[in-house]
């Protein structure tokens, strides 16, 4: 029992590193239409095109391509609390990649987290989600990687994790505890009454797109607290790489309760809609993945997400309130938060908090602004961000960072003002909250002011 306890503890530490690794990946690739066999070509061509589409939807390239490196050749280094993990080469090179993998070995790695040598993969590889993928889809992925990806001879890098945390065998216990069995053919887990469109959306969200990896909170073992909608915690929001991956359930204050299916599709295609704009990891997801998915699949994802009940059924919707707008225009609110907003934010987001559609995001009644966790807002105020480049919205807008301009107190006050104005209803932000995020994201030091030395 003592040995088992130590194994599980070690596994949890390894999982911490793995999750940190996965946090850099998240939501990314795909193509504009459902895969179709090129004219005059047969089933093999269609299978490989299907695999390419799935590789894009699954965001394989995000983790397996180093900055400036060749596609899928691995070598992406991810810092974790216990060392650096490097992604492996998954090109079909026989010496250094997966060229020697049989389909069975490939399937074991993708859907079961078991490497060719029998060791357990770090759960940075989201095999708990990929376990939901049908064998026929994995065969398509295999065909694509083996025939259409360019082989690259590049040795894999060993993880820079000190012993004994570098031992992989405890991960076997993590996999046994938290990874589901791989499914067979068919769309698993869908209720009999589910429409074909919703079933397709559920299959994509739970499987290849692995949305829950970022958007579901984690347990003590760093496992996703739920892998399906059997539990309301599923897709109720998580924190990844210094951003909040928002609640995707039907909550009307901080979820998708006020978003229409058409607005969800617009966000996934362009990275913006009337409610929000994509920044950070989600901007990369849109740019490299979801904008390239077929309209039918995006509509299926939206249809499925709109079936999700609220994580907090008692949560009441927001209602517009013009008080803050009137006070800002009259100059009667002299608080630090209001004055900081006028000096730094109002030109783009307007005194009404409504911004400019498809250009500068609205702050009023925004589900992102009203999240209980202000991490994303603090992060983007400190370091700024860029919207994705997309075919649907080729104009490219960004927000500058204010880390060197505003103190922790200034940022806390302006965000507290935003989160309590125009009908917004979210907890206040403290200077210590800002200081914590400033350190975590390695933002510039706050400017010297009398109040902060």
Known binding positions for heme c: 60, 63-64, 211, 214-215, 345, 348-349
Binding residues: 60, 63-64, 211, 214-215, 345, 348-349
**CB-based contacts of 38: which residues, under 8 Å, 6+ apart?**
45, 49
Q: Look-up: residue for tokens 């902060």?
A: 452
Q: Which residues of 388-426 are buried (b: 16+ CB within 10 A; e: fewer)?
A: bebeebeeebebebbbebbbbbbbbbbbbbbbbbbbbbb
Is residue 396 within 8 Å of residue 389, measured between CB atoms?
A: yes
Residues 251-266 pLDDT 10s: 999 999 999 999 999 9
Give the architecture (CATH level 2) of 195-313.
Orthogonal Bundle (1.10)
> What's the pLDDT band for 189 if we cut at 50, 70, 90?
low
Query: Which pLDDT belongs to residue 221?
Result: 85
Asked whether this chain's domains 195-313 and 323-452 adopt the same fold, the reply is: yes
The string of pLDDT tens digits covering residues 194-219 is: 799 999 999 999 999 999 999 999 99
Query: Model confidence over 101-127: pLDDT tens digits?
Result: 999 999 999 999 999 999 999 888 999
In angstroms, the Cα distances linking 275 to 95, 171, 354, 361, 367 are 49, 40, 10, 7, 7
- The number of residues making up the chain comes to 453
Alpha helical stretches, state H, 194-332: 196-206, 212-215, 261-270, 281-288, 295-305, 323-330
Q: Nearest CA to 283 among 354, 346, 362, 376?
A: 376
pLDDT, residue 35, reads 46
Please, which residues have CB within 8 angstroms of residue 382's CB and are 6 or more apart in sequence?
A: 401, 402, 403, 411, 434, 437, 438, 441, 443
Selected from 3.50.50.60, 1.10.760.10, 1.20.120.850, 2.40.30.10, the CATH number assigned to the domain covering 323-452 reads: 1.10.760.10
Would you state the pLDDT for residue 10?
Answer: 39
Mean pLDDT of 303-324: 94
Using alpha carbons, list the distances in angstroms from residue 425 to 333, 416, 430.
Answer: 18, 10, 16
Domain boundaries, the chain: 16-161, 195-313, 323-452
For the ranges 16-25, 175-184, 250-259, the lowest mean pLDDT is seen at 16-25
Asked whether the beta carbons of 250 and 302 are under 8 A apart, the reply is no
């Amino acid at each position: 029992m003592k040995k088992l306890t130590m194994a599980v503890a070690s596994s949890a530490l390894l999982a911490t590193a793995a999750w940190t690794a996965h946090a850099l990946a998240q939501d990314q690739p795909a193509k504009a239409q459902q895969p179709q066999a090129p004219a005059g070509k047969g089933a093999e061509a269609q299978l490989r095109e299907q695999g390419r589409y799935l590789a894009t939807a699954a965001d394989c390239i995000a983790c397996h391509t180093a900055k400036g490196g060749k596609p899928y050749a691995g070598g992406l280094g991810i810092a974790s609390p216990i060392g650096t993990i490097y992604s492996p080469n998954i090109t079909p090179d026989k010496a250094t990649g997966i060229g020697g993998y049989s389909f069975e070995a490939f399937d074991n790695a993708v859907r079961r987290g078991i490497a060719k040598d029998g060791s357990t993969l770090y759960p940075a590889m989201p095999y708990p989600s990929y376990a939901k993928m049908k064998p026929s889809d994995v065969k398509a992925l295999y065909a694509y990687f083996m025939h259409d990806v360019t082989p690259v001879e590049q040795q894999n890098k060993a993880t820079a994790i000190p012993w004994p945390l570098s031992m992989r065998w405890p991960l076997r216990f993590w996999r046994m505890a938290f990874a589901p069995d791989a499914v067979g053919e068919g769309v698993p887990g869908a209720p009999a009454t589910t429409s074909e469109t919703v079933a397709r959306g559920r299959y994509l969200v739970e499987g290849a797109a692995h949305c829950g990896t970022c958007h579901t909170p984690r347990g003590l073992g760093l496992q996703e607290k739920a892998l399906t909608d059997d539990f309301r915690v599923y897709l109720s929001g998580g924190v990844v790489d210094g951003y909040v991956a928002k609640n995707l359930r039907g909550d009307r204050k901080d979820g998708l309760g006020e978003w229409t299916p058409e607005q969800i599709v617009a966000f996934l295609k362009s990275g913006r809609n009337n409610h929000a704009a994509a920044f950070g990891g989600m901007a990369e997801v849109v740019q490299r993945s979801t904008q390239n998915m077929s309209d039918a699949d995006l509509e299926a994802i939206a249809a499925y997400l709109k079936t999700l009940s609220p994580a907090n059924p008692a949560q009441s919707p927001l209602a517009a309130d013009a008080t803050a707008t009137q006070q800002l225009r009259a100059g009667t609110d002299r608080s630090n938060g209001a004055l900081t907003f006028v000096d730094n934010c109002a030109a783009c987001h307007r005194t009404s908090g409504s911004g400019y559609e498809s250009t500068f995001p609205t702050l009023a009644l925004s589900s992102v602004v009203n999240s209980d966790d202000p991490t994303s807002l603090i992060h983007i105020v400190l370091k700024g961000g860029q919207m994705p480049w997309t075919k649907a919205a080729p104009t490219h807008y960004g927000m500058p960072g204010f880390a060197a301009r505003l103190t922790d107190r200034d940022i806390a006050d302006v965000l507290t003002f935003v989160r309590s104005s125009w009908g917004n209803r979210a907890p206040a932000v403290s200077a210590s909250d800002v200081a914590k995020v400033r350190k975590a994201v390695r933002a510039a030091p706050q400017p010297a002011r009398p109040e902060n030395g």
